[in-house]
Structure 1
Amino acid sequence: MQAMSSAPDSPPAAKREKSAPQKALEKLGLVRDIDLALHLPLRYEDETRITRLADARDGDTVQVEGVVTDSQVSLRPRRQLVVTLDDGSDTVRLRFFSFYPSHQKTLAVGQRIRARGELRGGFLGREMVHPSFKAVTPDTPLAEALTPVYPASAQLPQAYLRKAVGAALARADLSEVLPPEVVPPGLPTLREALHFLHHPSPRVSLATLEDRSHPAWLRLKFEELLAQQLSQLQAQRERARLQAPPLRAEREGLHERLLAALPFRLTEAQRRVVEEIAQDLARPQPMHRLLQGDVGSGKTVVAALAAAVAVGAGWQCALMATTEILAEQHFRKLVGWLEPLGVGVAWLTGSQKGRARREMLERVASGAASLVVGTHAVIQDQVEFARLGLAIIDEQHRFGVQQRLQLRQKLQGRGLEPHLLMMSATPIPRTLAMTYYADLDVSTIDELPPGRMPIVTKVFSDARRAEVIERIRHEVGQGRQVYWVCPLIEESEKLDLQNATETHAQLSEALSGHMVGLLHGRMPPAEKAAVMSLFSQGQMSVLVSTTVIEVGVDVPNASLMVIEHAERFGLSQLHQLRGRVGRGAVASVCVLLYTPPLSDTGKARLKAMVETNDGFEIARRDLEIRGPGEFLGARQSGAPLLRFADLQEDAPWVARARSAAQLLLERHPQAAAAHVARWLGGRSEYLKA
């Protein structure tokens, strides 16, 4: 009879507690074998050769081998383990400030040791501080390939990660899924490329590994860009199969009436873009278009004309902005243009409560409001549209993918999708558009309306603050208005910045007889609206504000913009803020106040602001300074950004990947699907919204 065990059943393998390194692997996204195989080294250590101490120079990183002749713990100037190693040609001290008993045992007198580190000249002779080391015998073989050093974390030792990557490389299916006709000639297979990059031969030029120009690197860049392009093109094709209401502008309809009623003429660029959008709206497939234009180029009127097409065709239009102030600016302009033409306009924000909110929701649900303007409140579940035909999203890069998808889902019950127009005053550099917005049609307003005065940008140290205040006194004395922008509204221990409240008090005292207002994100909406109204109407001379006025605010009489601690702002944000002035007939000035010392990045930003007013050049430099992840608002969705390819240097590879992606989808759809699954897994959805 089998004995019964009184011990509880051991948990199944799947439910056992994961070790710290396993959890650390998951945190880095290293879940599948292919994820580990694609986790490439940051750098390499050459453990394939031994250098004689007599031949080594100070400053070299070398691997030496010898016998320990002295090993002791010293307590001065701090506790440390000091070991003397003799390789027969010379001696070197190995110095450790952090060590364990096991280290002392390995580094005991008489032990044969192989150590690798930077050789430095010291007061008592040459030394290595915290070298890597291991005990060896005279016949211990040397490594045959360079030793990889991987991106890791404190809970993930290199030895564990090397073993995990090695095992994954052996298990992962690295068979070729791409037909030979799409792979550029001269590149190795994926398997060859990955095995080489994890264990490169010591004979390879380290420079080609570091600058990623080696053919093995080029294969990975091509594969990554191809997966990304395939994902975008698949999204584009899926969208082409969707249905949207065709919205056609009728002769002498609302669109024509709005054009006739506008108090200004459209620029040629605006006319071209309006026509592109109108053609898209007339199709039974959903428009997916990005409207980009520099600060002040007139995107709002283009949006109004697009809305007029939708409303004129009997459908509703929703316009969503990132902040209440920006949404309200749009609301005022659109009400001014469209309400006289009989269009019902609704206003929806998160701060609306009670009866006012219920009334707005009823107007939207009944169709009484043809145009709905607001913040992200527009996409909340309780907002039901009667017939949503067009959704317009301003400053689209600030909305997460999920929010954009919610807006598109408002017509799902009818088997239709609304047309989608996204607007951005941060122009997208061409390589970035080809890569991250490949499934978007892009319309660009590339000229400013006539009469816009150039803005002169000046950079001053904070020590010249008094001069700047004197300039403000002169401007307001001439009847003009001034913005003063601060980064924070209260003191922070981390950032020693003067807050908006202090600056407001200082300017109020210096400019007695002139109204100085204060605006920041924590004020109640009604208070914000009151301050903006006073400034817009010209009753307030100076507006001290945080960055809530970054976009959308239009006060033609404002001629001076002061940005305090300008070094703390991103380049595109500085350009947006500068665009709040120069909207009237008077030459305007933007003053960038900084607190020294400036970092290299800070210097590069301020230099760019002085050298150019061109939003496209600003965008190009911003991309150079920050990289694509930051430029795109860090992809709030969590979408994977490029790990291997570089948008500036590898632009020709983007074009190659794009043509290869089109070929694959047309002739080898199964290979295309397998390639996207290998590289992106379930994350390809993030790239589609």
Structure 2
Amino acid sequence: MPTAAASPASAPPSAPARREKSMPQKAMEKMGLERDIDLALHLPLRYEDETRLTPLREARHGQTVQVEGVVVDSQISLRPRRQLVVVLDDGTDTVNLRFFSFYPSHQKTLAAGQRVRVRGELRGGFLGREMVHPTFKAVTEDTPLAASLTPVYPASANLPQAYLRKAVASGLARARLDEILPAELLPDGLPSLQQALHFLHHPPPSTSVLTLEDRSHPAWQRLKFEELLAQQLSQLQAQRERALLRAPALPLAQGGLHEQLLAALPFRLTDAQRRVVEEIALDLQRPQPMHRLLQGDVGSGKTVVAAMAAAVAMGAGWQCALMAPTEILAEQHFRKLVGWLQPLGIEVAWLTGSQKGKARKEMLARVASGEAQLVVGTHAVIQEQVEFHRLALAVIDEQHRFGVAQRLALRSKMQAEARRIEDEGGPLEPHLLMMSATPIPRTLAMTYYADLEVSTIDELPPGRTPIVTKVFSDAKREAVVERIRDEVAQGRQVYWVCPLIEESEKLDLQNATATHEQLSEALAGHMVGLLHGRMPAAEKAAVMSLFSGGQMAVLVATTVIEVGVDVPNASLMVIEHAERFGLSQLHQLRGRVGRGAVASVCVLLYTSPLSDTGKSRLKAMAETNDGFEIARRDLEIRGPGEFMGARQSGAPLLRFANLEEDIALVRQARHAAGLMLDRHPEAAAAHVARWLGGKAEYLKA
């Protein structure tokens, strides 16, 4: 839509509030532009050059130019559709200005005889050269040109650029941009924060646009360093605060429960599993809380490592809790842990939100008394009414799938347990072990996970077969069903995953219920099951039991089977509308097959047309089974905010820095953070408050 000097939307934000201004104000609040510093840090997406005029006779087709002249004709045309057509003469040539959306105020500004300054893309038209919906404003012959490049800010439909520019300029003028960082900690050659921000909002015409767009200009480098330093300070501070806390020291007893479990397991641990078990055991022996992430690819055997850690704690006379994001995953853990630990005299309790009444009360009583030494469940484990007897270790599986609120609730729960369980030295906080089948790329480990110790299982158990991944258009659907017939005829089992449960009017996707009906008809004589998140817990458990037991040939499911499901006889995974899934999710789903000795296949069915992102994801899946490479590409495609789920508070915590491109700045920020906390603690606190505010808490969650 065109803009004009007379447009009400361009009135300065400092003008008296009127009813028509409420929409831009609300739009600014929705974008988080409330404080002066928020406005100062709201940087342009791009710039327009309004510092020069281009004579029309010198302007080229396809070029975006600014011209100034007098309107020689202005009229409303009704053919082929209603539009305002204006002819502008700059003294060297004429150009037609065409507007399909316009107001009476625009007609007044663009009336014959008016002098206007116009900026837009010059293109060929039926009646000569034209600009469609250029920006414009009324001027006089002595109206000065802009002295700097004009910023174009991220905005919304109800927030015009003219309004936003004035608001940002006001915020930038008022914001306190005093230097917080000690000069000796700054990389060489960077401007002050105030200089950097003023430059980025109003760069002079001589500035290389390329250095602005690729963010290599020293002003951008200063902003990135400030942001990375705040993030590193927050993480390092959290790590240091945790080192001051106390936790139960859990010694390893000769012939203890951990050794009994190791001897009783029906398989040998891999070298990688043994290594991480030792790393965790060393942490548990210290009187400070462990804060460790256990990462390993799909099927690498993280559950048995968690069981060994739990055995160390329970062998020392303490309790453990294991929490998983879904009931299906929690139940898979529960079954395995019962099988391994119950013969050794350990009681494993099951606790989920679906438990009600007397059964729940009895379970809570067993947990509170200490009778239940290991408690397995969903987020119900961290609810207020759950009270442990002596909790020493909390294990969280697929921790990135829990929301911020749940992570903060877990931290509060652990702090509550610490206050309740004290010895002569004060509160004792439980140790924390987090597990993830989504490996963390190196740059993320240096930034968002800098406060964690990381253990990596980089070896798969023997006997796992490689999975072949094939990518097909949904036009090959019948051929895929034929392949399923072959698989089930040989006694093997198949997963078919759909993104929806029922039909959606908005998305034309193959849904789980319809697919279940179609496959049941196509595979008459074989049991085809349906599993989705809306089913009652007992019904889900019954379906999974039939599939795990081998009676069910095909399981049609939504992504509730993404993690935790372990059926070695399943040899084929079909993922419908694979282009709609994230890369890490596709890798997790693929990991449900290839768990036995039979060669396994994952079929990714897609619907055309594919977006560039969709193509990149499917290409990565077809090219590699390596979870670390998948994670690297996923970070590349999605960026850290989406990759990490809800560790952050809605918006990505890194707005300016790029983890892959700015690795040198990450290293400099890490080094500076330690020095700043040691030498300038007050400046460190002020810097974190300026950049992160309340979001610093989410980094620790």
**TM-score, structure 1 as length reference:** 0.96
The one-character-per-residue Cα deviations of 1:156-198 (angstroms, maximum 9, x if unpaired) are: 2222221222122222221211111111001111111111000
Q: Who is 1:594 aligned against?
A: 606
Report the Cα distance in structure 2 between the residues aligned to 1:456 and 1:109, rounded to whole angstroms. 70
- 1:606 and 2:618 aligned: yes
| Secondary structure class of the residue paired with 2:639 | helix
Offset at 1:682?
Answer: 2.3
RMSD over aligned Cα, in angstroms? 1.7
Counterpart secondary structure, 1:67: strand
3-state SS in 2 of match to 1:603? helix
- Partners in 2 of 1:31 and 1:641 — Cα distance? 17
The aligned residue for residue 197 of structure 1 is: 200
Q: Which of 291, 306, 312 is matched with 1:309 structurally?
A: 312
The answer to whether the Cα contact below 8 Å between 2:469 and 2:602 also exists between their aligned partners in 1 is yes
**1:660 paired residue among 654, 660, 672:** 672
What is the aligned length?
677
Q: 1:505 maps to which residue?
A: 517
| Whole-angstrom CA distance in 2 between matches of 1:528 and 1:422 | 26
Deviation at 1:409, TM superposition (A): 3.1
Residues 246, 648 of structure 1: alpha-carbon distance in 2 compared, 3 angstrom cutoff? same
**2:577–2:607 CA contact under 8 A, matched in 1:** yes
Distance in 2 (CA, whole Å) between partners of 1:401 and 1:635 is 6
- Code of the aligned partner of 1:499: N
What secondary structure, in the 3-state scheme, does the structure 2 residue paired with 1:64 have? strand
C-alpha distance after superposition, 1:317-359 (max 9, x if no partner): 1111111110000000000001111111110111111111111
Residue 608 of structure 1 deviates from its aligned partner by 0.8
- With over 3 angstroms needed to count, the CA separation of the structure-2 counterparts of 1:636 and 1:216, relative to structure 1, is closer
Unaligned 5+ runs, structure 2: 1-14, 421-426
Q: Tell me if the contact between 1:520 and 1:545 (Cα under 8 Å) persists in the aligned partners.
A: yes
Q: Which amino acid aligns with 1:596?
A: S
- Distance in 1 between residues matched to 2:457 and 2:441, nearest whole Å: 14
Residues 409 and 417 in structure 1, CA contact (< 8 A), matched pair in contact too: no
CA distance in 2, matches of 1:282, 1:32: 47
Task: Give 3-state SS (helix, strand or coil) of 2:692's partner.
Answer: helix
Q: CA deviation at 1:155?
A: 2.8
Please identify, of 328-337 and 276-285, the stretch whose mean Cα deviation from structure 2 is larger.
276-285
Superposed CA deviations along residues 49-74 of structure 1, whole A, max 9, x for unmatched, are: 00000000011111001111111111
In structure 2, relative to structure 1, the CA distance for the partners of 1:272 and 1:221 (3 Å cut) is: same
Could you tell me whether the CA contact under 8 Å between 1:316 and 1:390 is conserved in 2? yes
Name 1:65's counterpart in structure 2: 68
Whether the 8 Å contact between 2:647 and 2:699 is mirrored in structure 1 is no
The structural deviation recorded for 1:639 is 6.1
Query: 2:658 is matched by which residue type in structure 1?
Result: D
SS at match of 1:436: coil
Aligned to 2:419: 413
How far does the alpha carbon of each residue in 1:95-152 deviate from its partner, in whole angstroms, 9 at most, with x for none? 1111111111111111111111111111101111111111111111111101111112
User: Residue 678 in 1 paired to residue 684 in 2?
Assistant: no
Q: Distance in 1 between matches of 2:138 and 2:671?
A: 54
Partner residue, 1:7: none
Q: Distance in 2 between matches of 1:680 and 1:609?
A: 36
2:32 to 24, 29, 34: 29
Q: How many Å separate the matches in 1 of 2:500 and 2:24?
A: 39
In structure 2, C-alpha distance between the alignment counterparts of 1:67 and 1:16, rounded to whole Å: 33
Deviation (angstroms), 1:407: 2.5
Contact persistence 1:241–1:285 (CA under 8 A): yes
Residue 105 of structure 1 corresponds to 108
Taking the aligned partners of 1:156 and 1:462, their CA distance within structure 2 comes to: 41
- Aligned-partner Cα distance in 2 for 1:498–1:254: 50
- Larger deviation: 47-56 or 618-627? 618-627
2:527 corresponds, among 515, 526, 549, to 515
Q: Over residues 432-477 of structure 1, what are the superposed CA-to-partner deviations in whole Å (9 max), with x where a residue is unaligned?
A: 1211111111111011011111111111222222221221111112
Decide which of 456, 466, 479 is 2:468's aligned counterpart.
Answer: 456
Partner of 1:244: 247
Residue 223 of structure 2 corresponds to 220
**1:632 and 2:635 are equivalent in the alignment:** no
- Paired amino acid for 2:29: E
The whole-number CA distance in structure 1 between the counterparts of 2:612 and 2:694 is 38
Cα distance change on mapping 1:656 and 1:669 into 2, 3 Å = same
Aligned identity (percent) is 83
Secondary structure of 1:225's aligned partner: helix
Using the TM superposition, give the Cα deviation of residue 401 of structure 1 relative to its aligned residue in structure 2, in angstroms: 2.8
Q: Deviations over 1:498-530 (max 9, x none)?
A: 222222222222222222211111111111111
Instruction: Give secondary structure in 2 for the equivalent of 1:431.
Output: helix
2:597 corresponds, among 562, 585, 595, to 585
Amino acid at match of 2:168: V
- Report the alpha carbon displacement of residue 634 of structure 1 after superposing the two structures with TM: 4.5
Determine whether 1:533 maps to 2:533: no
In structure 2, the residue matched to 1:557 is: 569
Gaps of 5+ in 1: 1-12
Structure-to-structure mapping, 1:91-170, within 5 angstroms: 91-170=94-173
Could you report, residue by residue, the CA deviation over 1:410-431 in whole angstroms, capped at 9, with x for unpaired residues? 3142323211111110111111
SS of the residue 1:325 aligns to: helix
TM-score, length-scaled by structure 2: 0.94
Correspondences of 1:364-513 after superposition (within 5 Å) = 364-410=367-413, 411-414=417-420, 415-513=427-525
- 1:61-91: per-residue Cα shift (whole Å, max 9, x none)? 1100111111111121222111111011000
How far 1:394 moved relative to its partner? 0.6
Q: CA deviation at 1:16?
A: 11
**CA displacement, residues 508-555 of structure 1 (integer Å, 9 cap, x when unaligned):** 222222222111111111111111111111111111111111101111
